[in-house]
Structure 1
Amino acid sequence: MYPSSQDAAKYAPQGYPMNIPERQPYHPPYIPSANGTAKWSTGLCHCCDDPANCLVTCMCPCVTFGQIAEIVNKGSISCAASGAVYGLLLGFTGLSCLYSCFYRSRLRGQHDLEEEPCVDCLVHFFCEPCALCQEYRELKNRGFDMGIGWQCNMDRQSRGITVAPAVASGMKR
């Protein structure tokens, strides 16, 4: 890890400047689709890209949903509160997808993502775990540390600390 530019002066040999690049927040490349919106950074069925999240989502989707909702709501509702509402809807009605599809729409609106492979409510109705995993990966790939919540992410960002983006291993063409 590089020291900050303020600390560089005290570590540099006398008379020699240390040219240390400032770290900038990661923003995935904007890849426009035909209608001017950006593509998702991962596909709907790429759950194996993050096996730990896939396991958590399959065993207890309210945890993943709560983390997504806190970031999408910009901290106005906590992870625990969103996850609890999701869990209650799932337990009593089985239709938690009606609640979570609105968060997918909000996420898409915030990041200008295309509505694919179909309408958000259908994606969540037929493929709820995959949709939650994709949304989680999207936020993670955009530089959010999903485990610490909105406020800690903003504190890190204000201090200039960013999370390194997730990079796929191996060469792909």
Structure 2
Amino acid sequence: MTSTVIVTQPQTFVVQTSNQWSTGICDCCEDLSSCCFGFWCFWCFACKTAKELGECLCLPLLDFFGLIPPITLSMRATMRQRYGIQGTICNDCIYSVFCGPCVWCQMSREKAIRGAPITIINAGL
């Protein structure tokens, strides 16, 4: 009686992290479906994105109450901190005030790119 042993060696991989946003503020074509969703139903898209980022579903609706959208600003700053992205609170403020939908689309793309879980398997070498 013979038995076949199949051995697969784990492949080496390098995880690269960047201190920059993966896509630019106006790179909507990188994820056209999210861009269209954000354009046609912005508040639904913002609430969905907030939920995906682990925040309260209705949190973006609080942006109605300020000249500077506090939730968009804080979510962008939090995402920068979470992923080690360079930037300033001043830039976050400017983008949040003048490019709110673009900010939410950028955060959605960043979550999709960086938020994918990485599974590391220890082969017990």
Tell whether 2:56 aligns with 1:42. no
Supply the distance in 2 between the matched residues of 1:132 and 1:47 (Cα, whole angstroms): 11
- 8 Å CA contact 1:61–1:129 kept in 2: the answer is yes
SS across alignment from 1:43: coil
CA displacement, residues 118-169 of structure 1 (integer Å, 9 cap, x when unaligned): 621111111111111111100100144xxxxxxxxxxxx5xx5xxxxxxxxx
- Aligned length in residues: 116
Give the aligned partner of residue 122 of structure 2. none
CA shift for structure 1 position 97:
2.5
The residue aligned with 1:109 is 81
Deviations 1:83-124 (A, max 9, x none): xxx23644xx575723211110011111110117x6211111
Q: Percent identity?
A: 27
Match of 1:16 in 2: 5
**Deviation of 1:50 (Å):** 0.6
Q: What is the aligned partner in structure 1 of residue 40 from structure 2?
A: 59
Give the Cα separation in 2 of the matches to 1:137 and 1:96. 23
Query: What RMSD over aligned residues (CA atoms) do the two structures have, in Å?
Result: 3.1
Q: Is the 8 A contact 1:58 1:129 kept in 2?
A: yes
TM-score, normalised to structure 1's length?
A: 0.55
Contact 2:69/2:97 (8 A) holds in 1: yes
Structure 1's unaligned 5+ residue stretches are: 1-12, 32-37, 145-156, 161-173
In 1, distance between residues paired with 2:41 and 2:9?
Answer: 43
Check conservation: 2:25, 2:103, Cα contact below 8 A: yes
In 2, the alpha carbon distance for the partners of 1:63 and 1:96 equals 20
Does structure 1 residue 97 correspond to structure 2 residue 69?
yes
